[in-house]
Amino acid sequence: MAAVRTKVGTLAKPIDPTLEQAPRIGWRAYLPTLAVAPLIAALDQLSKVVIADLLDERPGQALWVIEPLLRLRLVHNDGIVFGIFSGALSSWVTILFVLAALAAVIAIFLRYLRQPTLLARIVLGCIIGGAAGNLIDRFRLGHVVDFVDLGWWPVFNLADSAINVSMVVLVVLVMFGKLERDPQALPPTA
């Protein structure tokens, strides 16, 4: 039985000679990522403006959408995800933390994936767009605007949804080995 070789400095996955020889996709292949990211950020910002206007008419009250499952409630989150460290970190520390996490996700994609699937590239766009939507709030307001209240979960927004759903999809893609295109299906290189 042959030993499995791994390349030093990678995610310790076995070297696949076909994938190692596969060319990296060009920047044009990331056009779906570049289209989805600003779309998610814009939808997030639009939803926050609409909800803030709607709830300003009812200060301190919640607006039930589907009673008792879903209500809209304006919350200013100065912490990180789900309000963790709320009030404990300065706005700039939080911004730096978010930027570092986003840079790590992008770096992992660009460094370790030679042939990411279309779905993987769209997922990356959703993560970037969601992070951008919340970063816009932090730069503009010093906090993130959250408004979706399920009652049993921390209040969240569209950007949070895009990030969290994308991370779940990313985990599923990794579990089923569908993060990259099949090396045998790639066109031969000259």
Query: Could you give the residue numbers annotated as active site?
Result: 146, 160
As a whole number of angstroms, the distance between CA 63 and CA 69 comes to: 12
Is residue 116 within 8 A of residue 180, CB to CB? The reply is yes
CA dihedral 134, 139, 140, 146 (to 10 degrees): 30
CA dihedral 95, 71, 46, 168 (to 10 degrees): 60
Angle at alpha carbon of residue 66, lines to 132 and 143, rounded to 5° = 25
| Burial (Cβ within 10 Å: 0-12, 13-18, ≥19) of residue 55 | middle
Q: Residue 181 has which token pair?
A: 């295109």
